[in-house]
C-alpha cells in the first residue's frame, strides 16, 4: 500500500534586541505540534542576526522533532506494539529504533 502525505511546517522568528525566539509549527492536517527555540547574543559578540536566526530556528525544529517522536512512541504503546528492549525480543514489532 502506497500513500502520500504532505505535512507543512511553519517557522516564525522574532528578534528583540539580542534575543531571537523561534516557533516551529507542524500541521498534519488533523493536528498541530509546536516546537520552541531561542538564541541570545552575548553583547560583546559581533551583531550577526543570521546566526541568532539559525540557532533559534534549529532549536525550535529540534524541539518539534523531540515532541513528534515522543508522540509516535505514545502511539506505538497505545497500539500494543511495544518498543525495542521491552518484553520478548522474538515477538513481531512493526516499529523499531534504527541501529546506532
Number of domains into which the chain is organized = 1
Q: CB of 60 within 8 A of CB of 36?
A: yes
Which pLDDT value is given to residue 83? 62
In a domain, 29, yes or no: yes
In a domain, 54, yes or no: yes
Which pLDDT value is given to residue 85? 54
In a domain, 93, yes or no: no
Q: CB of 43 within 8 A of CB of 65?
A: no
Which pLDDT value is given to residue 82? 66
User: Residues of the chain whose pLDDT is less than 50?
Assistant: 88-93, 99-100
Gap between the Cα atoms of 6 and 30, Å rounded: 12
Residue-range definition of the domain harbouring residue 54: 8-75
Gap between the Cα atoms of 28 and 32, Å rounded: 6
CATH number at residue 18: 3.30.160.240
In a domain, 100, yes or no: no
Show the CA angle centred on residue 34, arms to residues 11 and 21, nearest 5°. Answer: 50
Q: CB of 24 within 8 A of CB of 10?
A: yes
In a domain, 95, yes or no: no
Which pLDDT value is given to residue 88? 47
Amino acid at each position: 500500500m502506497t500513500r502520500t502525505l504532505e505535512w507543512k511546517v511553519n517557522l516564525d522568528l522574532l528578534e528583540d534586541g539580542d534575543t531571537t525566539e523561534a516557533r516551529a509549527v507542524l500541521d498534519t492536517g488533523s493536528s498541530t505540534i509546536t516546537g520552541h527555540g531561542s538564541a541570545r547574543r552575548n553583547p560583546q559578540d559581533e551583531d550577526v542576526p543570521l546566526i541568532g536566526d539559525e540557532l533559534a530556528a534549529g532549536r525550535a525544529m529540534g524541539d518539534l522533532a523531540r515532541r513528534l517522536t515522543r508522540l509516535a512512541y505514545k502511539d506505538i504503546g497505545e497500539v500494543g506494539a511495544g518498543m525495542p528492549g521491552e518484553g520478548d525480543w522474538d515477538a513481531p514489532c512493526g516499529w523499531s529504533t534504527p541501529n546506532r
